[in-house]
Amino acid sequence: MSEKFFKKLPKVELHAHINGSISEDTMATLVARKQAVDQDWRLMYRKGESDTLEGVFKMFKLIHQITDNTDAVYKVTYDVIHEFAADNVKYLELRTTPRAEPGTGMTKTAYVEAVIQAIQDCALEDIDIIVRLILAIDRRHSVSVAMETVNLAAEYRKKTEGLVVGVDFSGDPSVGDGSDFIPVFEEARRHGLKLALHLAEVPAPDETWKLLQLPPDRIGHGTCLQPEVGGTQQLVDFVTAKRIPLELCLTSNIVGRTVPDYDNHHFLFWYDRRHPCIVCTDDKGVFSTTLSNEYSVAADTFNLSRDQVWQLSLDSIDHLFSDDEVKRKLRHKERKLTRSTG
Ligand code: 6MZ
């Protein structure tokens, strides 16, 4: 299958962190507007430089120095949407952690409003992509900070008539105990928000088991659910029985070294069991990838046929956090395109 095939494939992206998705071009523009930035950023900003999860988190720190004001947050969001649209992504759920920057006076509310403004401006343009927003809870922060994020998500869900669809749980997986946040996720649910939680990105069977009882609507990564990689059979059985979809980010896991190589990626384990698997980018900027490339890598590594790739993309629609009307329209569009492009 050619590069063109993967590019033309209409796609759904459900796991993309805004600041991790920043392109090199956008970085260069924003760095040019600043003075106090490490001039070696371009060196760091290459696949292979951030070659452990620790290195990846250093990259986020650098990017956050650059996106420390609402103009930059608006630009990153706007550019990222255009880049996904150019990659033929028809539906995109962006996620981001509301951030206050006392140095520039940016508040969390202003941050969220800049992101929403960019999404709304893109919706008025002639680009064929539907965008929704998930607000992220960083596990390195406190439970009360997390509760603030849930309140912001609930507030802006109402104000934007459903543009904000859920909350995410992310941040350095080696920090803290995720089960402390269970009351926060229960509160999010009471507000009608969906839950997309990073789970078992590194081995953490106790925490994972407790968080699974919620249960989340989707799991980010799920790298270490199986017993051979630090999980348990109980975790595998639970996720299987509940059919909780997995957001799988192949390149991210290889670069971050939570998986040794593509051949050993847990995609195959779950895909073979016909479990809902969604191919995602995670941080397309930091990992120098695209969603087309992620589909191409999955197809090459696991010998997927054209039909299987189409079906994988089509099935992702079942798991997005928008209403059935959006799902129906997307399925219709994909089927029409399947017929016309083969
Ligand atoms: C866990 C991740 C992540 O929110 O500033 N993030 N958290 N595991 C990952 N796998 C590599 N990739 C990204 O985007 C950057 C933030 O997203 C989370 C981290 O909290 C990171 O600081 P935003 O837009």
Q: Is the pLDDT of residue 43 over 60?
A: no
* pLDDT given for residue 54 in this prediction: 85
* pLDDT given for residue 324 in this prediction: 94
Q: Is the pLDDT of residue 131 over 80?
A: yes
CA distances from 60 to 103, 107, 125 (A): 18, 19, 29
Whether 155 is catalytic is no
* pLDDT given for residue 35 in this prediction: 66
The ipTM, to two decimals, is 0.99
* pLDDT given for residue 337 in this prediction: 73
For 232, the token pair is 């348990």
What pLDDT band is residue 338 in, cutting at 50, 70 and 90? Answer: low
Question: pLDDT, tens digit, for every residue of 184-240?
Answer: 999 999 999 999 999 999 999 999 999 999 999 999 999 999 999 999 999 999 999
Mean pLDDT for the stretch of residues 139-165? 97
* pLDDT given for residue 47 in this prediction: 47
pTM: 0.96
Catalytic residue selected from 13, 93, 101, 201: 201
Q: Work out which ligand 1 atom sits closest to the CA atom of 283.
A: 12
Dihedral class, residue 171 (left if φ above 0, else alpha if ψ from -120 to 50, else beta): left
Dist CA 90 CA 331 (whole Å): 11
Dist CA 314 CA 288 (whole Å): 25
Residues with CB under 6 A from ligand 1: 17-20, 56, 60, 96-97, 136, 138, 170-171, 173, 198, 201, 252, 256, 282-283
